[in-house]
Amino acid sequence: MTPDPLPPIPSPPSHHWRQFRVRVLPPIAFLAVLGVTVWLWALNQATPLVFGTAEGPVADVASPQAGRLTELKVVPFQEVEAGELIGTVDPVNPEVLSNTLSVIRAEMESIRAQAGYDAGDRVRYAQYQLDWLLQRADLVELRAQHRFAESEFQRLSKLVKENVASQTDYEIAKRDLEQSQQLLDERAAAVEQAGKTLRELAPENLNTETPAVRAAIAVAEEQLRLAEAQLRPLALIAPISGRVSRVYRLSGSTVAASEPIVTIADPKVDRIVAFLGQPFGVEPRVGMEVVVRSRGHHRMVARSHITHVGPRVELFTAPLRIRGMGAAQERGLPFIVSVPAGMNLRPGELVDISLLN
């Protein structure tokens, strides 16, 4: 006799849930994580060898001649417009100018000694002309001394307000400035009167000089004009509109010719410069499409194209891919990418670039 089969023992729901967690849930979680990883990789991947740097116009402001920076009107990070005056430079030291004028006077005295003038109207006219040139030379020297006295007075005025200089030094500088102004006014009036008198002698009706004397006087006049031109302060003009990024020299400093005084940077980006490291998996060419990805919390992705490709492999600084490891020197082929429309980048910002075949 065959016994009847026993009924199956019922399993509690917790047992079925445990079997599901052990056998089914791990493969599902693995496939989900794999899918999310592939999606994120496709969304954010970039060629690891290509980094780009956003760049904008940068200009250095320098003096074409060596001199003293008498005034600087800008401070770091100040907005400036193209053509705006940002400072002045006095290119000539008063002592150097005085020596130059002394040389001119010596040459004029040499002309006078070698001319061999006889008594008469022609000699007097030539004498007037030489005297007028000497007075003009003295006037140039007085102007240099007045500018130096004015600069010294302004400097001491600021120091007195800051309780750095004494009141006695301030009064001495003020006295020197007033004296130089008075001497300058008197000498300017004398030069003007002498020039008027010289014009009234109607030089076109007089043949007072030999060709050699006329040539020598012409040389002396040109030298005097050169000294007068060197006395004028040089204006430093902003070549581009932008923001002052660095100030290398302050007011009162001595600057050399072509030495940068201020650097102006445009905050707008007009190009992206990138380097394709070796070995070259893709050969960049003008017009090739690329994908530009910004870095940050809000990544921006846009398409662009290559506008220029460099002619040779160059050494460049590339950021290492390991956080905190700084940068390394590598060799790569440079190329320029246009800035995608609507992508707000700052100069110096790093971006990732993918080359599309």
CA distances for 307 relative to 162, 255, 294, angstroms? 55, 39, 19
Range of the domain at 244: 58-90+235-265
132: phi > 0 → left, psi -120 to 50 → alpha, else beta; which?
alpha
Residues 217 and 103 in one domain: yes
Q: Which one of 243, 265, 287 terminates a domain? A: 265
- If pLDDT is split at 50, 70 and 90, which confidence band does 90 have? confident
CA neighbours closer than 13 Å in the CB half-sphere of residue 55: 14
Q: What is the pLDDT of residue 98?
A: 62
Residues 115 and 105 in one domain: yes
User: CA 153 to CA 171: how far, in whole Å?
Assistant: 9
Q: What's the rounded mean pLDDT across residues 120-126?
A: 61
Q: Looking at residue 77, what is its pLDDT?
A: 92
Residue 26 included in any domain = no
- Residues 256-271, mean pLDDT to the nearest whole number: 91
pLDDT for the residue 244: 94
- Higher-confidence residue of 212 and 311: namely 311
pLDDT of residue 286: 93
**Concatenated DSSP letters of 281-311:** SS---TT-EEEEEE-SSS--EEEEEEEEE-S
Checking if the pLDDT of 134 tops 50, the result is yes
List helix spans (H) across the chain: 13-23, 25-44, 94-115, 121-161, 167-200, 211-231
| Within a domain: 35 | no
Q: Do both 176 and 197 map to the same domain?
A: yes
288 exposure class (CB count in 10 Å sphere: 0-12, 13-18, 19+): middle
Is 132 within a domain?
yes
Q: How confident is the model at residue 230 (pLDDT cuts 50, 70, 90)?
A: low
Query: CA 70, CA 254: separation in Å to the nearest integer?
Result: 9
Same domain, residue pair 182 and 140: yes
99 and 202: one domain?
A: yes
Spatial neighbors of 275 by CB under 8 A, at least 6 apart, are 50, 51, 314, 316, 318, 330, 332, 333, 334, 335
Is there a single domain that holds both residue 272 and residue 261? no
**Average of pLDDT values for 350-356?**
87
C-alpha 127/C-alpha 122 separation (Å) is 9
With bands split at pLDDT 50, 70 and 90, how would you rate the model's confidence at 40?
A: confident
Q: Are 144 and 98 in contact (CB under 8 A)?
A: yes
Task: Examine the domain organization and report whether 224 and 117 are in the same domain.
Answer: yes
Indicate if the pLDDT at residue 44 is higher than 60: no
Q: What is the pLDDT of residue 76?
A: 92
User: Cis ω on the peptide bond leading into residue 279 (within 30° of 0)?
Assistant: yes
- 216 shares a domain with 101: yes
CA separation for the pair 245, 265 (Å, rounded): 6
Is the pLDDT reported for residue 301 higher than 70? yes
HSE, side-chain direction, 13 A CA sphere, residue 275 = 16
Decide the pairing of beta strands 301-309 and 271-277.
Answer: unpaired
- Whichever domain contains 277, its CATH number is 2.40.30.170
The total of structural domains in the chain comes to: 3
pLDDT of 214 > 80? The answer is: no
CATH code for the domain in which residue 193 is found: 1.10.287
pLDDT band at 112 (very low <50, low <70, confident <90, very high): low
Share above pLDDT 70 across residues of the chain, in percent, rounded to a whole number: 76
Same domain (yes/no): 274, 287: yes
**241 and 114 both lie in a single domain:** no
Distance CA 192, CA 182 (A): 16
Q: Kindly tell me if the per-residue pLDDT of 45 is higher than 80.
A: no
Residue 34 resides in a domain: no
